[in-house]
Structure 1
Amino acid sequence: MRFDNILAGAIPEPRGRDGIVLAALLAKQTGARLTVAAVQPPAWTTPGPARAEETAWRTYLEEQAESTLTQARQIVGDDADYVIHMHKGSGRGLVELARRRGADVVVIGSAPGGGKGRIEIGSTADQLLHSSSVPVLLAPRGFADEPPGAFERITVAYRRGPSADAAVVSAARAAAALEVPLRLVTLVVSSGRRVEVEERMLERLRDQTAADLRAAARGHRRRLEVEVEVLEGRNVGQALATASWVSGELLLCASSTGGPLRRVFLGDTSVKIVRAATCPVMILTRQP
């Protein structure tokens, strides 16, 4: 995974600051080039008397986009490129722009409706998380209010399989680029009360999961500090809550194996992880 070129989506709302601040933090720590983009819908082209309305609408869109980028510039300063891109869908517009500019990751904030410190998936994120050809990084609501000074650790939600193993390789490269330790965690979701046979099966699952984590970490410890941990709870949220999380945490998830190659595709478990996480989450593209 490279962090040479970062694309951040900007919107004319206070919550848009979260994605901008997160992207600026990543760019600062990696020395990447940062592009901040405002995606606006194209004005309609209706001949006749509606021409005046079209002109007024186009002017309004341009002013709104410029205002959005001005707000972003107040956060980032001159250490970024600022562009306006026209597309009917904000998420699809960012996908298109990322391809054109050769971005390595796209960064956006949370949709409205989620709690502070949590991530809500809206229409923009949904479009990105089902079609982006580069990883997508999501900022929790309120991230810009108290951002960490730097990333301190990368945690990977790991489940044995080719896609997850490729995610560990990508995460190790990212950890090396950020100069932070790497942690691999596997979530074990179990019911509360269990009969003896279920308890024995669960114990075997814990042992197998721990072995899988050790195997996944093997080979990366020569150049990185790597720790592994099994997280258990009655649901994804409870399991995540059993772990300790540092201020500068970055959580990585692999795309669903059912999605297209070289694209981001969010599966059911990843959706639950994203919504339960209390730190920025990056969804990787599916690797062969």
Structure 2
Amino acid sequence: MRIIVGYTADRRGAEAIALAASVGGSGAGNGASPHLDIVMVLPQDTPFSAVYPGSDHGYKSIIAERIDAWAAEALTLVPEGSSARVLVRSADSEAAGMIAVAKETGADLIVVGGQHGRMAGMLGLGSVASALLHSSPFPVALAPDGFGEGGIPVLSRVTAFIGARPGTKGVVETAAQAATAQRVPLRVVSLMAMDFADEGEIIDESLVEAIEAKISSIVSAVGASAEVEVASGKNIEDAVQVLEWIPGEIAVVGSSRLARKRRLFLGSTAQRMLRTLPVPMLVVPRSYRRSQQDR
């Protein structure tokens, strides 16, 4: 698995590396050997580009020495079981630089840290994450504040959230591929009942059974097996809080129906989930298929 890591020399960068290693399967003992392309993006007018380790940028300057130090520090954060290099690029924006490298390398995923200043373990959107979640043609994973501080957790379960709108199959398929690659259980949580009911309305049992049958057929269609659960609660936030979560879990959600084909656009449901979701979130572009990014 090839993962792009958006890196800054601070806690956010360390959290992104930790999540990339966790999702990639470092230390899981399942034979996975992820490769991390740790990307540092400089302003477009900075005449500097380099690859670490193994590259000589040909001159020394204050900025070159500082980047050398940041690159060396980033590589010390990569756990055993992952290969890694640091790529330095100039671009109009950090998001544009990461997307460009992802296209160059045929990446599976882009990982970034979230916004700080929130409750530990909670997700938040900084400017870079927000830009990626509204434009990336690649899946984007967001690390919660404090992720990896107590050690990099081994991926334990993949939970896919789906609703009644188009794109359900792509979300389940992406989640199933991740779960299969890391040999962990897959859970599919349906938000369909909440799409059909008004907020706070009691959901009819017959509707729950019909939804469970529909989701089971979708899971079978992608060749996977999964625990199927129908979320319930007074609202989206309540439903997320009621669900059981285990250490090392990751949640997978789809893009808004407003997204352009094979592009991300974080919808209102996913944005509401961000307020209470206690695990990392991975957002899948609309109509995404891994084969479309293969090189």
Q: TM-score, normalised by structure 1?
A: 0.83
Return 5+ residue gaps in structure 2 as ranges. 48-59, 289-295
The one-letter amino acid paired with 2:174 is S
Give SS of 1:7's match: strand
- Using the alignment, how far apart are the partners of 1:92 and 1:178 within structure 2? 29
Identity %: 30
- Using the alignment, how far apart are the partners of 2:166 and 2:173 within structure 1? 11
User: Displacement of 1:203 after TM fit?
Assistant: 4.7
Residue in 2 that maps onto 1:156:
160
Residue in 2 that maps onto 1:48:
none
Residue in 2 that maps onto 1:74:
76
Report matched runs for 1:112-261 at 5 Å.
112-187=116-191, 188-189=193-194, 191-192=199-200, 199=202, 202-203=204-205, 205-219=207-221, 224-261=224-261
Call closer, same or farther: CA 1:233–1:44 in 2, change over 3 Å. same
Call closer, same or farther: CA 1:163–1:259 in 2, change over 3 Å. same
Give SS of 2:239's match: helix
User: Displacement of 1:35 after TM fit?
Assistant: 0.9
Larger radius of gyration: 1
User: Displacement of 1:74 after TM fit?
Assistant: 1.4
Residue in 1 that maps onto 2:52:
none
- Using the alignment, how far apart are the partners of 2:273 and 2:63 within structure 1? 36
Task: Give the aligned CA root-mean-square deviation in angstroms.
Answer: 2.5
Residue in 2 that maps onto 1:276:
276
Residue in 2 that maps onto 1:9:
6
- Verify the 8 A CA contact 2:34 2:83 in the aligned structure 1: no
User: Displacement of 1:268 after TM fit?
Assistant: 1.0
Moved more, 62-71 or 278-287: 62-71
- Using the alignment, how far apart are the partners of 1:153 and 1:178 within structure 2? 9
The one-letter amino acid paired with 2:168 is A
Do residues 99 (structure 1) and 103 (structure 2) align? yes
Superposed CA deviations along residues 15-58 of structure 1, whole A, max 9, x for unmatched, are 3211011112233253222111111113469xxxxxxxxxxxx9
Give SS of 1:108's match: strand
Moved more, 119-128 or 109-118: 109-118
Give SS of 1:210's match: helix
The one-letter amino acid paired with 1:229 is E
- Using the alignment, how far apart are the partners of 2:206 and 2:22 within structure 1? 41
Superposed CA deviations along residues 99-133 of structure 1, whole A, max 9, x for unmatched, are 12221100111122322101111110111111111
- Verify the 8 A CA contact 2:99 2:136 in the aligned structure 1: yes
Give SS of 1:12's match: coil
- Verify the 8 A CA contact 1:165 1:216 in the aligned structure 2: yes
The one-letter amino acid paired with 1:130 is H
Call closer, same or farther: CA 1:61–1:266 in 2, change over 3 Å. farther
User: Displacement of 1:191 after TM fit?
Assistant: 4.4
Q: TM-score, normalised by structure 2?
A: 0.81
Return 5+ residue gaps in structure 1 as ranges. 46-57, 193-197
- Using the alignment, how far apart are the partners of 2:252 and 2:235 within structure 1? 19
Give SS of 1:20's match: helix
- Using the alignment, how far apart are the partners of 1:59 and 1:257 within structure 2? 47
Do residues 34 (structure 1) and 36 (structure 2) align? yes
Superposed CA deviations along residues 238-274 of structure 1, whole A, max 9, x for unmatched, are 1111111111101100111211111122111112223
- Using the alignment, how far apart are the partners of 1:191 and 1:159 within structure 2? 15
- Using the alignment, how far apart are the partners of 2:234 and 2:206 within structure 1? 17
Call closer, same or farther: CA 1:44–1:38 in 2, change over 3 Å. closer
- Verify the 8 A CA contact 1:10 1:68 in the aligned structure 2: no
Residue in 2 that maps onto 1:52:
none
- Verify the 8 A CA contact 2:15 2:113 in the aligned structure 1: yes
User: Displacement of 1:90 after TM fit?
Assistant: 1.1
Give SS of 1:31's match: coil
- Using the alignment, how far apart are the partners of 2:199 and 2:266 within structure 1? 25
